[in-house]
Amino acid sequence: MSSLKEILKNKKICKSVWFMRQAGRYLPEFRKIRSQNQNFIDLCLNSELSSEISLQPIRRYDLDSAIIFSDILMVPYALNQKVEFVEDKGPVLEEFNYKNFLNNDNISFTQKLHPVYKAIQKTRQKLDKEKSLIGFIGAPWTLLTYMLGAKERKKKVDYKKIKTKEFEVNLILDKLNDYLCAHIENQIDAGADVIQIFDSWAGLILPEDLPEYCYTPNSKIVNFCKEKKIPVVCFPKGLNKNYKEFNKIVKPDAISLDYEIDPVWAKQNLTNVVLQGGLNPKLLLSSEKEVLNCAKKYLDTFKNLPYIFNLGHGLLPETDPDKVSRLIKFYREY
């Protein structure tokens, strides 16, 4: 067993398993903490508790990597845009103020996120040396859609909010890149040894805008990680066959597959990169036989490739922890 960091750096064929949103809503031990901490942002800023939550799935399943319990929207929060997590509705951000955004600076940004870095330090101290600790960010485009309130529905973005302010948007993306690189560097300094970039709304970008809003911003961050000698995983969710172009241009160490990507297509088209994930999290709500059959399909397909076993998105709140346990056991015995 090699650490995730080793697999990503050396593109080794080796067993490694972790799950997106492994620390969170489906675990009874998390729900207990959450019931006593109603404000989600405050919980992310509680170093002791966020470290404890990050370690819960490691204790339960002995996974190969921990991912820090935090949120991509901690960045807009640190840039002084009010963020609230409303039950049954999700994140709500106050109206974007361009002037306020420009008034931010690296010192106050880092100070506001200091508890997150402290949580990483605490987690690293308690984590076995051979296990990786994953820090993460939201990609500039994904954060932009949240910050401008441009996401209308699950699969639709209000392009008017972006196209009518093109100059401002480009400046926001540039500034976001600087803050995100600072956030990555602070996470590395605190003990993260792998970075994942979540471009959750990449699939909402018009094909002609992909170079400007997806490939270029992700490339800048990937290059920054490479300069820092830190392995980086990209998750450009929803890009479908544009995954191939993304991989060719951005050149991450690993690419996380969403559940709409056919694994056989991925094997044939995504080269010189470690592949990660792909399994539909909704499958874990179906019969155990279905789950294991589908897992076997991914494992058979990627048998002779460097592959990290994971899902094509985060674990769902309704997931039975015991089913997760049986899936991990199946993978380890495969």
For the annotated catalytic residues, the residue numbers are 21, 25, 34, 71, 146
Of 49, 187, 69, 193, nearest to 130 by C-alpha is 193
DSSP letter (8 states) at residue 261: S
Helical ranges in the chain per DSSP H:
4-10, 28-35, 40-44, 47-61, 74-78, 98-102, 106-112, 114-126, 140-147, 160-163, 166-190, 210, 216-227, 243-250, 263-269, 288-301, 321-333
Query: Within 10 A of 254 (CB to CB), how many other CB atoms are there?
Result: 24
Beta-carbon contacts of 289 under 8 Å, excluding residues fewer than 6 positions away, are none
Torsion over CA: 119, 231, 64, 243 (sign):
positive
The SS3 call for residue 95 is coil
The dihedrals phi and psi of 96, each to the nearest 5 degrees, come to -65, 130
Pairing mode, strands 194-198 and 156-157 = unpaired
